[in-house]
Amino acid sequence: MQSRRLKDKVCYNYCMSYINVYIEHNSLALNTTFTYACDQKVEVGCRVRVPFGAQDLIGFVESVDVLPKVKNIKSVLEVLDTKPLLNEELMTLAHTISQNYVCSVISVLKTMLPPALRPSSIEHKIVYEDWAVLNDETVALTPKQKEAFASIRDQLPMKASILRKKISLSRPLFEKGVLSLEKRVKESVVPMEEIEDSSFVLTEEQQAAIENIEKGKNTVYLLHGVTGSGKTEVFLQLAKKVLSEGKQVLFLVPEIGLTPMMIQRVKARFQTKIAIYHSSLNAQEKYEQYQLVKENKVSIVVGTRSSVFMPFSNLGLILMDEEHDSSYKQDSMPRYHTRDIVMERAKFHHCKVVLSSATPSLDSYARAYKGVYQLVTLTKRISLQMPKIHLVDMKTEQVENGLSFSLINAIQQALAKHQQVILLLNRRGYLPVVKCTQCEETFTCPDCGIALTYHKKEDLLMCHCCGRVFYFDHTCPKCHSHSFYRLGMGTEKLEENLQNMFPKAYIVRMDADSTRKKNAHAKLLKEFEEKGDILVGTQMVAKGLDYQRVSVVGILQADASLARIDYQSAETAYSMLEQASGRCGRGQIEGNVYIQTFEPDHYVMRSVIQHDYFSFFSKEMKYRHLGMYPPYVYLCTVIYQDKKEENALQTAQEAKAYLSDLKVLGPISISMRQQKARVRLVIKSKDKELLTQRVWQLVHHHMRLKTTVKQDINMYPFGLEE
């Protein structure tokens, strides 16, 4: 790998410079710069259009050399930016990420930028609009024109479209040069409910936590506070101090559930313009928010994963809420974990980082336990006590429509008292499996080979793996029967069952299907808060919700996440159960949680019943140690994909042989994608640098062998893909 040089940042020599460019290309083989001649002013971090083979490609300038190093080099076709899109910090960061995650620099550069600024973003053109601005007031006007001008004089500059609607005489004002037109980026309004700020006296624990963090010498703090212990308030207080010193603050939230809530709280508290950044924004809105930070117009950013790449100039604090959440790891190239990027940015800006969660990732807690991070704890809830957990043993309980009698009873009582209920079933759709009762044929996705889910409202079958949908005529393609088993249930069916059982209840359903539209998430939550009795949903409902009237939480099929054969299943299950439980009893009414399980004696269940994170942590760490899994080792998975399984297998075998100095598990065959067989290797090492080095060498080994089998590298995966 070559190292980056940032010398000769700008070339003011307009005659000719030689620039090194990362070109837009998917191949890791091209993860190097190419040199071009350029006769225009250009800086590091600008985009250029260059000839490459028979194509024109877009690239980023990595460095500018005054002296030519290569003979017969081609010339740049066009310099696309007058100012660098990415500053030195971000250019260097891109390089670090590429190194650590074994991915191309260009893929990182693309991820860092809002869609409108990505190298060849033809479909995301930035939208501009005309504004009328004052040009020359001294021009002679007719009395009528004078009158018209006077009526709008104080409102300038204003949108030309509004001006034209307001006065009919706007045209002569432009023609005579009183006004002129200016193109400005169209401003979109991101709608957001305004809420009032609540101020309260900090609890002793909150006070101590703030002091510990402010006075601490460490860079990274893990704020471990039980659900409802007021971690957000600690965040807001810490932010206040840093903002008063004139520095910027980044609030990171997981996708997308908590975003509206955090935005509201931050806005209410600081009463100032903030930048927000999440997946519901369109390209134009993202561009706008990005520019707000770039032009130093805001000091606060609230956003999900990708906001970690915002062009901060003076970052004073990074707050990462629900740090355990899986959405912080990007599951496409570059497969970075936000926490790692946070650490890099904190290093550059010399600022503190606070990670917070009621159920920290094993990784972060282990670091805090060892003293690498400073542990700060909140052990008590603000309101009453922690909710009471009831483990409902499904082996012995009576059940109706998938609900145990204990849970049905609790729901009835809550509804009678006008309290709210949250039910979690981590499976969307109506029927998870469609199977013919005559010939036992199961409908499966031809691309992925997994069972299709029936969605009743749309009356179609959907693959939850690749998203493909299939028309369903309620006939078995094999034996033409019309009768199907009604096995299992997803959230859509649960909602229907509940409506039949509790006809008067107002039910809100929240899952990937009901939240597909823009801002649907925030709308559904508002609907539940204002008039809902029961909120049904997938793990989305387990996250961060803070409603005072929720007295019952029911978790259906609680063992489903434990059943997965993955080293991380127990951690995911513990966190989901504890987080979901934490949604009730947050106000003045007691909370009761019903966990429907076939394994009430499992250590995950035993820890949840006591709300005892540490007992879970200790047991889980023993298992990880025994099996040699993170945080004891670093992992990398490589998935080989090919039309023919034997090709993928053979390549994986070759890779395993090449990596004979490391512990490699597999190859094993996992589910298909796009009709291609997939074979997985799991590579383990205690030495992070060695792992990275060997994986890069593996990539080059495949290049030398001209391997045609597609490989997908995932450094530090979040669980193993199946």
Determine if residue 448 is labeled as part of a ligand binding site.
yes
In the chain, the amino acid numbered 656 is K
Q: Which residue has the tokens 């995650």?
A: 101
| Phi, psi dihedral angles at 125 (to 5 degrees) | -60, 140
Determine if residue 636 is labeled as part of a ligand binding site.
no
Would you say 709 and 641 are in contact if contact means Cβ atoms under 8 Å apart? yes
Cα of 706 vs its chain's centroid, Å: 35
Binding mask of the shown chain, residues 653 to 692, with x at each position contacting ligand ATP by CB under 6 A: ----------------------------------------
Measuring CA to CA, how many Å separate 499 from each of 293, 515, 520, 624? 47, 20, 21, 43
CB closer to ligand ATP out of 20 and 227: 227
d(CA 101, CA 48): 26
Determine if residue 584 is labeled as part of a ligand binding site.
no
Which of ligand ATP, Zn ion, none does 500 bind, CB closer than 5 to 8 A by kind?
Answer: none
Q: What 3-state class would DSSP assign to 15? A: coil
Q: How far is the CB of 320 from ligand ATP (least distance, A)?
A: 13
Which of ligand ATP, Zn ion, none does 447 bind, CB closer than 5 to 8 A by kind?
Answer: Zn ion
**CA count, 13 A, side-chain hemisphere, 101:** 27
Q: What is the CA radius of gyration of the chain?
A: 29
Q: How far is the CB of 398 from ligand ATP (least distance, A)?
A: 32
Q: How far is the CB of 114 from ligand ATP (least distance, A)?
A: 29
Which helix H or strand E contains 232, and what residues bound it? helix 231-244
Would you say 378 and 231 are in contact if contact means Cβ atoms under 8 Å apart? yes
Q: How far is the CB of 541 from ligand ATP (least distance, A)?
A: 13
Is position 325 an interface residue for ligand ATP (rule: CB under 6 A)?
A: no
Which of ligand ATP, Zn ion, none does 463 bind, CB closer than 5 to 8 A by kind?
Answer: Zn ion
> Any idea what DSSP says for residue 562?
T
Which of ligand ATP, Zn ion, none does 243 bind, CB closer than 5 to 8 A by kind?
Answer: none
Is position 326 an interface residue for ligand ATP (rule: CB under 6 A)?
A: no
The two beta strands, 78-79 and 47-52, are antiparallel
Site for ligand ATP in 367-396 (CB under 6 A): 382
Is position 494 an interface residue for ligand ATP (rule: CB under 6 A)?
A: no
CB closer to Zn ion out of 383 and 444: 444
Stretch that binds ligand ATP, among 196-204, 443-451, 452-460, 610-618 (CB under 6 A): 196-204
Q: What 3-state class would DSSP assign to 385? A: coil
The two beta strands, 676-685 and 663-673, are antiparallel
CB closer to ligand ATP out of 334 and 554: 554
Scored b (16 or more CB within 10 A) or e, 565-578 reads ebbbbbbbbbbbbb
Cα of 556 vs its chain's centroid, Å: 26
Scored b (16 or more CB within 10 A) or e, 297-322 reads ebbbbbbbbbbbbbbbeebbbbbbbb
Which of Zn ion, ligand ATP, none does 591 bind, CB closer than 5 to 8 A by kind?
Answer: none
Is position 206 an interface residue for ligand ATP (rule: CB under 6 A)?
A: yes
| Phi, psi dihedral angles at 717 (to 5 degrees) | -65, 155
Entry field: residues in the chain: 722
Stretch that binds ligand ATP, among 130-138, 156-164, 201-209, 310-318 (CB under 6 A): 201-209
Is position 202 an interface residue for ligand ATP (rule: CB under 6 A)?
A: yes
What is the DSSP secondary-structure string of 31-56?
-S-EEEEE-S-EETT-EEEEEETTEE
Is position 233 an interface residue for ligand ATP (rule: CB under 6 A)?
A: yes
From the list 601, 590, 547, 555, the residue with the least C-alpha distance to 575 is 555
In the chain, the amino acid numbered 501 is M
Q: Which of 87, 203, 499, 653 binds ligand ATP (CB under 6 A)?
A: 203
Q: How far is the CB of 131 from ligand ATP (least distance, A)?
A: 41
Q: How far is the CB of 358 from ligand ATP (least distance, A)?
A: 4
Which of ligand ATP, Zn ion, none does 228 bind, CB closer than 5 to 8 A by kind?
Answer: ligand ATP
CB closer to ligand ATP out of 538 and 641: 538
Q: Which of 71, 83, 200, 215 binds ligand ATP (CB under 6 A)?
A: 200
Binding mask of the shown chain, residues 574 to 603, with x at each position contacting ligand ATP by CB under 6 A: --------x---------------------
Which of ligand ATP, Zn ion, none does 448 bind, CB closer than 5 to 8 A by kind?
Answer: Zn ion
Is position 225 an interface residue for ligand ATP (rule: CB under 6 A)?
A: yes
Which of ligand ATP, Zn ion, none does 200 bind, CB closer than 5 to 8 A by kind?
Answer: ligand ATP
Task: Please give the structure tokens belonging to residue 101.
Answer: 């995650």
Q: Which of 239, 274, 315, 358 binds ligand ATP (CB under 6 A)?
A: 358
Q: How far is the CB of 287 from Zn ion (least distance, A)?
A: 33
Stretch that binds ligand ATP, among 48-56, 221-229, 415-423, 651-659 (CB under 6 A): 221-229
**Residues in touch with Zn ion (CB under 5 A):** 445, 447-448, 463, 465-466, 468
Determine if residue 476 is labeled as part of a ligand binding site.
yes
Is position 253 an interface residue for ligand ATP (rule: CB under 6 A)?
A: no
Q: Which of 45, 119, 228, 666 binds ligand ATP (CB under 6 A)?
A: 228
Q: Is 382 exposed, middle or buried (0-12, 13-18, 19+ CB in 10 A)?
A: middle
Q: Which residue has the tokens 């045609």?
A: 708
What is the DSSP secondary-structure string of 455-487?
ETTTTEEE-TTT--EEE--SS-TTT----B---
CB closer to ligand ATP out of 321 and 533: 321
Q: Please, what is the Cα angle at 682 between 677 and 683, to 5 degrees?
A: 140
Determine if residue 436 is labeled as part of a ligand binding site.
yes
Q: How far is the CB of 235 from ligand ATP (least distance, A)?
A: 8
The beta strand positions in 80-163, using DSSP E, are 128-134, 158-159
Q: What 3-state class would DSSP assign to 300? A: strand
Task: Please give the structure tokens belonging to residue 584.
Answer: 């009730």
Is position 17 an interface residue for ligand ATP (rule: CB under 6 A)?
A: no
Cα of 177 vs its chain's centroid, Å: 49
Stretch that binds ligand ATP, among 220-228, 413-421, 425-433, 507-515 (CB under 6 A): 220-228
Binding residue positions: 436, 439, 445, 448, 463, 466, 476, 479
Binding residue positions for Zn(2+): 436, 439, 445, 448, 463, 466, 476, 479
Interface positions with ligand ATP (CB under 6 A): 198, 200-203, 206, 225, 227-233, 358, 382, 544, 546, 582
